[in-house]
Structure 1
Amino acid sequence: MENKKVSIWKNYRFPIILISSIILGSIIGIVMGKKAVILKPFGDIFLNLMFTAVVPLVFVTITSAVGNMINMKRLGKILGSMLMVFITTGAIASVFIIVTVKVFPPTAGIGFKLEPGKATEAVNLGQQIVKTITVDDFTGLLSKANMLPLIIFSIIFGICVSLTSDEDNVVAKGLDALSKVLMKFINIIMYYAPIGLGAYFASLIGEFGPELLGSYAKVIAVYYPLCVGYFIVAFTAYSYFAGGKNGVKIFFKNILPPTATSLATQSSIATLPVNLEATYRMGVPKDIREIILPIGATMHMDGTCLSSILKIAFLFGVFGKDFSGTGIYLTSILVAVLGGVVMSGVPGGGLIGEMLIVNLFGFPPEAFPIIATIGFLVDPPATMINATGDAVTSMMVTRILEGKNWLKNKIVE
């Protein structure tokens, strides 16, 4: 019995410490109220350390994974499988939330309706797409606000490294060594995580806790349990597909640190280093995890699909419109997926997606602050679904590429 306790502590020590610090921080936030914001700098230190490491980490891990890949066909298979899984899980999440809002309308019982008013000026989607995937100067790649352009640049750079390789590819080996150094850097930062995340939660609960009980309580009452349900049901199904019962066990054993980090930081990008470590422990091959996770942090957002359609349904209810019909549902799913693609992976990045919702559905300017507030309130669980979904996606892609017995035969680098 004693050995079993030691084994549990050994396997789950860090998650237990992390969750305990978050619970303690939440209690401090409740007790101190708004005064708890004095602890926010301790949380900001952790967040800033993560953010400063993200840009070099993304560049080096992707270029290293692609540059050391001799078989370009495998890269194509990874990216193709990844895209298929992204679209599939996004569609499942969208259908999941559509069914939910039809059963539990987020505006049911609200005693006011707003007039449609005059629609805002349409968003130029062409320009937005250009800004999403490219920057006009190399220095723009050095900002975490331009993650997708950085990812595209890193993939092309990695392909060039691979295509110019010989038996002794110094550049590829150097990138691989630098990747290991950066991961060690992340490991050191994580020693501070219990203090940083505990302080961050204390500040969040202290500052915004009372507002969560306001007029948006119904939206929160629908969305938060929905995310918990999706996390348990969908991710259990996905991890079971990836590796059977053992896949489910390995996923939930290692997913707690990314879950806690994403809830506290509200950023898929800030969670990326922790996700890389978690998928390493899950046994996901190096090339798969180091390609999918950075891309997924920007492009794979099931939580955003859930929240986007919730916002659309809420606006339809507030403005007295009927949220029904195949056309409305398909358009909502398209907008939700598009909103996920243009997210920058940082707190507040959902504003672009919210502007798209307002404009594409012809709502007036007054609609924007309404759903912007919703976006702020639902951001923590949405980011949690986004970030942890990247980890289970990497397992699913491994299952597709390596076969159903990949966990038994796993060789982790």
Structure 2
Amino acid sequence: MKKRRIKLTLIQKLLIAIIAGIIYGQMHFLPEIFFAIPVTISAFFSSILNFIIPLMVVAFVVTGIADLTEGAGKLLGYTTGIAYLSTIIGGTATILIVSRLFPHFINPDVVNIGELEAKIEPIFTIPLEPMLDVTGAIVFAFMMGLAMSWLRQNREDVGETIYAFFKDFSACIAFLLGHFVVPGIPIFVFGNFANLSYSGSVFSILSVFWKVYIIVLLLHFLYLVVWYGLAGAYTHKKPWQLLKNQVPGYMTAAATQSSAATIPVNLKIAKKNGVSEKIANFVIPFGATAHILGSVTTIVSIIYAVLLLNGLPTSISMFIPFIFTLGIAMVAAPGAPGGGIMSALPYIGMVGLDPSGATASLLISLYMTQDSFGTATNVSADNAMALVIDKLYNKYWSN
């Protein structure tokens, strides 16, 4: 009798990778080389991921916009506006909430942050530079997509050849994602969690900031409930079912710390929610780079906490311009793990922090601990946004 093979879902594989990585990282009796090997594999996969992410954006966004025969310009403008407004509202709500809660348990006299241990370094790295950066990729995709959409509407003899090229290019990228990137994510996650577990950095940070992280997580969930509540009410769909559908996307983003790497999973969820393919292929890749609700929530929270710890001014009025700046400066940053805080560092002087030295190192460490959940919130909100935009497009902009 032929044995039935057990087929694990992506969520199950990710959970196994996380647990296995944490356990493996605690086996300190093993020689360091045993930890350096999975870290090296993860580093190599990360290089491949960073290389393919801009190509993924081009592949999906160009064809996504080009497939829109009417209202493409309106779609781009309104989607940008909705994503930015969502980010600004989320960041403003965050500073109003944490300014009330954090002072009750954060005091520079009782909290002492020690130095974190060094992580295991890869045995070697491959200097693989992306052909495009993510920002350049999305600008190129917008320009080409809009031009192709206009040509296909107004010129019978121009536009179809290049459209066919990008359509085939999109199919090639989809093949690579399905047969290489997605299957490799659990291995990538295992190496990352083994590294963090071995160094003990996550446990060290959480032992001090666990209250901050709990509040940030609650804010993330609150914003998702609000987003899906509004999206469900507008599209006449059950919010809790939509949230349930989003679990694979949330888990993938939390494990990879990359909104762009979650695009293929999020596309499947969008279509499961009933979003049309042409809207999903545009909004999901776009949201992965421009809709940063979770990341801004995390950054605002940890910066406010650090200000309190150092006894520095924490005026809400100085945070508002900072939040508006982050909404623009961090576009495309969540595509890479830790990219959000790296993009925000040059602007923390607006709230009275030194963007270099010990403060920068502390912020990076604190952010990286929460980056998984901030990124997961980003991509989860993308699918709620896609539902709203799909209905708006079909009702108003396509005419």
The CA distance in 1 between the partners of 2:314 and 2:42, in whole Å, is 40
Structure-to-structure mapping, 1:12-161, within 5 angstroms: 14-29=9-24, 31-32=26-27, 36-44=35-43, 46-71=45-70, 74-105=71-102, 108-111=106-109, 142-143=131-132, 146-161=133-148
Residue 280 of structure 2 is matched in structure 1 by 289
Cα deviation digits, residues 302-330 of structure 1 (max 9, x gap): 122112212331242233233234x2242
The CA distance in 2 between the partners of 1:58 and 1:215, in whole Å, is 34
Structure 2 gap segments, 5+ residues each: 1-5, 113-128
The CA distance in 1 between the partners of 2:101 and 2:163, in whole Å, is 53
> What TM-score results when the alignment is normalised by the length of structure 1?
0.75
Give the aligned CA root-mean-square deviation in angstroms.
3.3
The CA distance in 2 between the partners of 1:45 and 1:374, in whole Å, is 24
Q: Which amino acid aligns with 1:228?
A: L
2:368 to 372, 376, 388: 376
Task: Provide closer, same or farther for how the CA distance between residues 112 and 31 of structure 1 changes in structure 2, counting only shifts above 3 A.
Answer: closer
2:388 to 396, 406, 409: 396
The CA distance in 2 between the partners of 1:376 and 1:231, in whole Å, is 16
Residue 115 of structure 2 is matched in structure 1 by none
The CA distance in 2 between the partners of 1:94 and 1:378, in whole Å, is 16
The CA distance in 2 between the partners of 1:368 and 1:31, in whole Å, is 28
Secondary structure of the corresponding residue to residue 105 of structure 1:
helix
2:303 to 312, 315, 318: 312
Q: Which amino acid aligns with 1:370?
A: L
Cα distance, 1:113 vs structure 2: 9.9
Identity over aligned pairs, percent: 19
Residue 119 of structure 2 is matched in structure 1 by none
Q: Contact between 2:11 and 2:252, CA under 8 Å: does it hold in 1?
A: no
Task: Provide closer, same or farther for how the CA distance between residues 179 and 24 of structure 1 changes in structure 2, counting only shifts above 3 A.
Answer: same
The CA distance in 2 between the partners of 1:82 and 1:240, in whole Å, is 19
Q: Which amino acid aligns with 1:351?
A: M
Residue 331 of structure 2 is matched in structure 1 by 341
The CA distance in 2 between the partners of 1:343 and 1:372, in whole Å, is 14
More displaced 10-residue stretch of structure 1: 85-94 or 239-248: 239-248
Residue 234 of structure 1 is matched in structure 2 by 223
Structure 1 gap segments, 5+ residues each: 1-8, 115-139, 405-413
Cα distance, 1:301 vs structure 2: 0.8
Secondary structure of the corresponding residue to residue 109 of structure 1:
coil
Q: Which amino acid aligns with 1:32?
A: M
Structure 2 residue 198 is matched with structure 1 residue 207:
yes
Task: Provide closer, same or farther for how the CA distance between residues 83 and 161 of structure 1 changes in structure 2, counting only shifts above 3 A.
Answer: closer
The CA distance in 2 between the partners of 1:191 and 1:105, in whole Å, is 38
Secondary structure of the corresponding residue to residue 192 of structure 1:
helix
Cα deviation digits, residues 372-408 of structure 1 (max 9, x gap): 332233222222222322222222222333359xxxx
Alignment length, in residue pairs? 361
The CA distance in 1 between the partners of 2:208 and 2:388, in whole Å, is 34
Q: Contact between 1:279 and 1:391, CA under 8 Å: does it hold in 2?
A: yes
Residue 299 of structure 1 is matched in structure 2 by 290
Cα distance, 1:24 vs structure 2: 3.6
